[in-house]
């Protein structure tokens, strides 16, 4: 009989060991799943984890890893601040869209003028757009006590409608033969966020790294970071020590909104290129998983985003190689397992497993 | 005379010398064909249609000669660009990208791999190694409209629109024109879901349309959800879209528009094998077999069925064009004079409703 015993202190060892254990367990269970599908499990796991990093075409996949991870890191870093303080921004997807629309709007308005000022202006517009969209749930919460989870989530659907409206109307490419979608910003030198496409480098990648460092400093060295952590762990204590909860709500939602908006802007001006009705692919929601996978820790988030990207890219390779041809659903299941095992093994951080004898059941 | 035989001999020798080499270069390695799909291969509609045609192509050309790879559920945007690059790196000789949103990514990747051929479905951008292909679905819509106009008792036909691009607008216009021809009182209600495949939204749209009195549902979306709702509702009929959706026959599915890409895929892959591939812009309809009309079931009265089949034959033979004047635009301005036929350019960029349709194209 196995019994759970709460640890007095979360285990340091297991905090670092559980993610690794989860990856190993995912590989084992995933291998069984692939074997049950009649696929070579070793080849499948190897393709997903090894091929993008060290395989024949790693020079192409490694930069793709950065492209895929950058928006996830940017959004997840912002979300983690709020999540630590118990402020739940679930609408990053919407802030991502609005940031992209505002930033792209500035870029498209200047087309075809060339100037070094255009891209910085787009960045400001993108950040402000995401910030403003997040201010709606923030103000409603601080003024009227509404639930930020619901409001921010509902605003995602509003943002999606705006995106459709823009790609069919105001921002539609006048040279697009009536098809929806804006001009391609990636082909507009003053507006593109690409630094070097073959290296997978765009300003979003740079911004993501800066965000990781800034968040780390904020949380470990700054009073505001301490207040955020305190508000999450002991709200009453925070109240007594003079933390203004409303100001914290505005700060956390605003920051996460601005970062999501920036992620959207960098994406629309680079990897995606244009405002289209299918611009958003769920980064805002995946980032929630990434934030928790990374234990709400900036460095953890960076690693988690890279791991998620690896399973996407490796999973894609495993799908389209003729000797494997794994179904897309199996890859999704595999990604789900990873999250499941991470959360499950997380138990070991706070609890100890005890084997007891003589239990009669 | 001697000269001639000499020449003949030389040609024969050349041919002899060349043929084993030719056989070797193609016997050794298979032609690798990649397919990039926007949905799952089991969606019952668009992607399933493409995948079915792809496997038909494989059967036709033989697995000894062709190796096929595909990736399903590929999001439009940077992900699709990565998937295409990945296929090209893995040695694909020709890659079919089967969604409108893959257009720019296809062009971008094609520029990086000049030796790989690309084929983009339903777009308009070509390049030296990028062809485009699409089907004249509006021909099938004319037949649907003819059936729908006579089958509706409430005189309300519901239409589930996906994304308002010219292809979809053409379909609505064609269906409306022909429904109106057989039933002057018919009225179209259109709901846009801004998605090609979303069973939940499609089902909601179908419910809304049925609540508004529609007893015929036409869809330009890929799943069988609207047919499932029609079945639940009882006296409502619908049509299969992209794939036959025969599991809902004889009613609510009374007929269908079937995308048959197999002959095209076979011809294009064959062209790559033979080294005769060229950039083309293909737009085929019922005649060449790219658009198929699924069996019209007995739920449709015999005279209506006969009329529909007659129209199908006329379109296939090229004696009837679904957009033949006199036709006016929605705003009442003249479009086509008596007997005038719409040109492909106008059809390709169609961004207006014909007279009689209510509502605006979203923009």
CATH label of the domain that carries residue A153? 1.10.3470
Provide the token pair at A106.
Answer: 């500035």
- Contacting residues of B for A321, CB less than 8 Å apart: 69, 90
Looking at residue A361, its pLDDT comes to: 46
Q: How far is CA A196 from CA A52, A108, A270, B143, in A?
A: 19, 22, 10, 52
Per the CB < 8 A criterion, the answer to whether B74 and B53 are in contact is: no
Per the CB < 8 A criterion, the answer to whether A264 and A100 are in contact is: yes
Per the CB < 8 A criterion, the answer to whether B92 and B34 are in contact is: yes
- Contacting residues of A for B89, CB less than 8 Å apart: 56-57, 60
Counting the structural domains of chain A, the total is 1
- Mutation to test the A interface, candidates B41, B42, B67, B82, most A Cβ within 10 Å: B82
Looking at residue A77, its pLDDT comes to: 97
- Residue among B234, B121, B86 nearest A314 (CA): B86
Report, as an integer, the average pLDDT of B263-269. 96
Strand-strand pairing, B94-97 and B117-121:
parallel
Provide the token pair at B129.
Answer: 């190694």
- At B152-203, the pLDDT tens digits run 999 999 999 998 889 999 999 999 999 999 999 999 999 999 888 899 999 9
CA distance A12 to A197: 40
Nearest-Cα distance to chain A for B225, in Å, is 20
B67–chain A Cβ distance below 8 A for any pair: yes
Give the nearest chain B residue to A166 (CA atoms). B363
A194 lies in some domain: yes
Q: A308: part of which helix (H) or strand (E)?
A: helix A298-320
A21 lies in some domain: no
The CA-based dihedral angle spanning residues B298, B299, B301, B304, taken in that order and rounded to the nearest 10 degrees: -100
- Residue among A308, A333, A317, A338 nearest A34 (CA): A333
Q: pLDDT band for position B24 (50/70/90)?
A: very low
Q: pLDDT band for position B280 (50/70/90)?
A: very high
Q: At what angle do helices B103-112 and B78-89 cross, to 10 degrees?
A: 40
A14 lies in some domain: no
Select the residue of A61, A277, A325 nearest B163 (Cβ to Cβ). Answer: A277
> Radius of gyration over alpha carbons of chain B, in Å?
23
Q: Answer whether A328 sits within 8 Å of B34, measured CB to CB.
A: no
Q: How many CA atoms lie within 13 A of B218 on its CB side?
A: 32
Nearest-Cα distance to chain B for A245, in Å, is 39
B344–chain A Cβ distance below 8 A for any pair: no
A313–chain B Cβ distance below 8 A for any pair: yes
Q: Answer whether A57 sits within 8 Å of B86, measured CB to CB.
A: yes
- Contacting residues of B for A317, CB less than 8 Å apart: 86
The secondary structure of chain B, three-state, reads CHHHHHHHHHHHHHHHHHHHHHHHHHHHCCEEEEEECCCCCCCCCHHHHHHHHHHHHHHHHCCCCEEEEEECCCCCCHHHHHHHHHHHHCCCCEEEECCHHHHHHHHHHHHHCCCCEEEEECCCCCECCEEEEEECHHHHHHHHHHHHHHHCCCCEEEEEECCCCHHHHHHHHHHHHHHHHHCCCCEEEEEECCCCCCHHHHHHHHHHHHHCCCCEEEECCCCCHHHHHHHHHCCCEEEEEECCCHHHCCCCEEEEEEECCHHHHHHHHHHHHHCCCCCCEEEECCCCCCEEEECCCCCCCHHHHHHHHHHHHHHHHCCCCCCECCEEECCCCEEECCCCECCHHHHHCCCCCECCCCCCCCC
Per the CB < 8 A criterion, the answer to whether A142 and A249 are in contact is: yes
Q: pLDDT band for position B247 (50/70/90)?
A: very high
Per the CB < 8 A criterion, the answer to whether A99 and A127 are in contact is: yes
What are φ and ψ of residue B315, in 5° steps? -65, -45
- At B90-110, the pLDDT tens digits run 999 999 999 988 999 999 999
Give the nearest chain A residue to B95 (CA atoms). A320
Nearest-Cα distance to chain A for B148, in Å, is 28
Q: Answer whether A325 sits within 8 Å of B75, measured CB to CB.
A: no
Report, as an integer, the average pLDDT of B261-283. 96
Looking at residue B189, its pLDDT comes to: 97
Whether the per-residue pLDDT at B25 is higher than 50: the answer is no
Q: A211: part of which helix (H) or strand (E)?
A: helix A203-221
b/e for B1-13, b at 16 or more Cβ within 10 A? eeeeeeeeeeeee
More confident residue, A175 or B294: B294
Looking at residue A76, its pLDDT comes to: 98
Mean of per-residue pLDDT scores for chain B:
90
A64–chain B Cβ distance below 8 A for any pair: yes
A56 lies in some domain: yes
Q: Give A183-187's long-range contacts (Cβ < 8 A, gap of 24+).
A: A183/A108, A183/A111, A183/A274, A184/A273, A184/A274, A184/B104, A185/A104, A185/A107, A185/A108, A185/A268, A185/A269, A185/A270, A185/A273, A185/A274, A186/A269, A186/A270, A186/A271, A186/A272, A186/A273, A186/A274, A187/A273
Q: Answer whether B70 sits within 8 Å of A320, measured CB to CB.
A: yes
B163–chain A Cβ distance below 8 A for any pair: yes
Give the nearest chain A residue to B125 (CA atoms). A176
B166–chain A Cβ distance below 8 A for any pair: yes
Give the nearest chain A residue to B87 (CA atoms). A320
What are φ and ψ of residue B203, in 5° steps? -65, -45
Select the residue of A165, A169, A178 nearest B349 (Cβ to Cβ). Answer: A178
Give the nearest chain A residue to B112 (CA atoms). A198
- At B112-144, the pLDDT tens digits run 999 999 999 988 899 999 999 999 999 999 999
A79 lies in some domain: yes
A346 lies in some domain: no
CA distance A158 to A163: 9
Looking at residue B1, its pLDDT comes to: 37
CA distance A163 to A141: 25
Select the residue of A169, A272, A322 nearest B78 (Cβ to Cβ). Answer: A272
A213 lies in some domain: yes
Whether the per-residue pLDDT at B6 is higher than 60: the answer is no
Whether the per-residue pLDDT at B262 is higher than 80: the answer is yes
Structural domain including A83 reads 38-326
Residues 105-134 of A with CB under 8 A from B: none
Whether the per-residue pLDDT at B9 is higher than 60: the answer is no
Whether the per-residue pLDDT at B19 is higher than 70: the answer is no
How many CB atoms within 10 Å of residue B22?
12
* DSSP output for A113-163: ---TTHHHHHHHHHHHHHHHHHHHHHHHHHHH---HHHHHHHHHHHHHHHH
CA distance B303 to B296: 12
Nearest-Cα distance to chain B for A44, in Å, is 15
CA distance B156 to B153: 8
Q: How far is CA A203 from CA A66, A200, B41, B130, B215, in A?
A: 11, 10, 36, 30, 53
Give every CB contact of residue B137 below 8 A, 6+ residues apart in sequence: B167, B170, B171, B257, B259, B291
Question: Domains in chain B, ordered, with CATH?
Answer: 30-135 (3.40.50.2300), 137-254+290-348 (3.40.50.2300)
Per the CB < 8 A criterion, the answer to whether B40 and B51 are in contact is: no
Nearest-Cα distance to chain A for B43, in Å, is 13
Q: Answer whether A328 sits within 8 Å of B72, measured CB to CB.
A: yes
Lowest mean pLDDT segment, chosen from A166-180, B248-262, B310-324: A166-180
Query: Chain-centre distance of CA B190, in angstroms?
Result: 21
Looking at residue B15, its pLDDT comes to: 42
Provide the token pair at A82.
Answer: 């709020």
Nearest-Cα distance to chain A for B333, in Å, is 20
A22 lies in some domain: no
CA distance B24 to B22: 5
Select the residue of B83, B164, B351 nearest A320 (Cβ to Cβ). Answer: B83
Mean pLDDT per 10-residue segment, chain A (361 residues): 82 83 92 93 93 91 94 97 94 98 96 94 98 98 96 97 92 84 92 90 96 95 89 86 90 97 96 91 93 91 94 91 85 89 85 72 46
Give every CB contact of residue B210 below 8 A, 6+ residues apart in sequence: B158, B217, B229, B230, B233, B236
* Paired residues of B71 in beta bridges: B36
* Paired residues of A354 in beta bridges: A3
- Contacting residues of A for B87, CB less than 8 Å apart: 320
């Amino acid at each position: 009989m196995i019994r759970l015993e709460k640890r007095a202190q979360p285990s340091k060892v297991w905090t670092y060991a559980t993610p690794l254990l989860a990856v190993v367990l995912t590989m084992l269970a995933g291998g069984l799943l692939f074997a049950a599908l009649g696929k070579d499990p070793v080849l499948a796991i190897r393709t997903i984890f090894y091929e993008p990093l060290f395989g024949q075409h790693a020079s192409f996949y490694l930069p793709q890893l950065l492209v895929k991870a950058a928006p996830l890191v940017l959004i997840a870093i912002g979300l983690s601040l709020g999540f630590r303080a118990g402020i739940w921004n679930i609408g990053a997807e919407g802030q991502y869209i609005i940031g992209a629309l505002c930033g792209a709007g500035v870029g498209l308005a200047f087309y075809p003028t060339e100037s070094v000022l255009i891209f910085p202006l787009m960045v400001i517009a993108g950040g402000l757009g995401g910030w403003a969209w997040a201010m709606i749930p923030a103000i409603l919460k601080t003024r009227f006590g509404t639930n930020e989870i619901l409001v921010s989530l509902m605003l995602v659907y509003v943002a999606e409608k705006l995106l459709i409206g823009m790609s069919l109307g105001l921002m539609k490419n006048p040279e697009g033969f009536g098809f929806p979608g804006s001009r391609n910003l990636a082909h507009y030198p003053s507006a593109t966020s690409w630094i070097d496409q073959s290296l997978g480098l765009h300003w979003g990648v740079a911004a993501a790294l800066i965000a990781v460092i800034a968040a780390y400093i904020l949380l470990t060295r700054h009073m505001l970071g301490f207040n955020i952590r305190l508000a999450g762990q002991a709200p009453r204590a925070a109240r007594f020590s003079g933390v203004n909860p409303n100001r914290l709500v505005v700060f956390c939602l605003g920051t996460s909104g601005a970062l999501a908006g920036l992620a959207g802007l960098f994406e629309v001006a680079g990897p995606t290129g244009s405002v289209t009705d299918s611009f958003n692919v769920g980064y805002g929601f995946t980032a929630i998983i990434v934030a928790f996978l990374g234990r709400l820790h900036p460095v953890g988030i960076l690693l988690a985003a890279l791991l998620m990207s690896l399973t996407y890219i490796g999973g894609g390779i495993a799908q389209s190689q003729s000797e494997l041809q794994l179904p897309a659903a199996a890859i999704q299941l595999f990604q789900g397992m990873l999250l499941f095992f991470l959360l499950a093994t997380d138990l070991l951080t706070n609890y100890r497993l005890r084997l007891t004898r003589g239990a009669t059941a | 005379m001697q000269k001639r035989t000499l020449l003949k001999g030389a040609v024969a020798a050349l041919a002899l010398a060349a043929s084993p080499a030719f056989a070797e270069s193609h016997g050794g390695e298979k032609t690798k064909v990649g397919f990039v799909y926007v949905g799952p291969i089991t969606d019952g509609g668009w992607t399933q249609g493409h995948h079915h045609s792809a496997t038909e192509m494989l059967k036709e050309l033989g697995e000894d000669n062709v190796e096929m790879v595909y990736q399903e559920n590929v999001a439009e945007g940077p992900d699709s660009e990565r998937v295409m690059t990945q296929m090209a790196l893995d040695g694909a000789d020709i890659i079919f990208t089967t969604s409108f949103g893959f257009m720019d990514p296809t062009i971008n990747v094609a520029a990086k791999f000049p030796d790989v051929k690309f084929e983009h479905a339903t777009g308009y951008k070509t390049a030296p190694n990028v062809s485009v292909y699409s089907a004249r679905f509006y021909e099938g819509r004319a037949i649907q409209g003819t059936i729908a106009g006579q089958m509706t008792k409430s005189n309300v036909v519901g239409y589930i629109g996906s994304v308002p691009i010219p292809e979809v607008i053409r379909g609505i216009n064609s269906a409306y024109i022909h429904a109106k021809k057989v039933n002057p009182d018919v009225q179209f209600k259109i709901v846009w879901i801004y998605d090609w495949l979303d069973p939940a939204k499609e089902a909601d749209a179908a419910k809304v349309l049925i609540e508004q009195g529609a007893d015929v549902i036409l869809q330009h979306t890929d799943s069988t959800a609207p047919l499932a709702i029609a079945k639940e509702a009882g006296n409502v009929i619908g049509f299969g879209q992209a794939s036959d959706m025969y599991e809902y026959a004889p009613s609510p599915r009374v007929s269908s528009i079937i995308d048959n890409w197999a002959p095209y895929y076979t011809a294009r892959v064959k062209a790559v094998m033979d080294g005769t591939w060229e950039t083309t812009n293909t737009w085929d309809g019922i005649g060449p077999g790219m658009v198929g009309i699924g069996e019209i079931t007995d739920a449709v009265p015999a005279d209506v069925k006969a009329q529909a089949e007659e129209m199908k034959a006329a379109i296939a033979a090229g004696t009837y064009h679904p957009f033949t004047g006199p036709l006016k635009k929605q705003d009442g301005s003249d479009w086509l004079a008596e007997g005038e036929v719409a040109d492909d350019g106008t059809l390709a960029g169609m961004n207006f409703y014909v007279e009689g349709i209510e509502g605006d194209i979203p923009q």
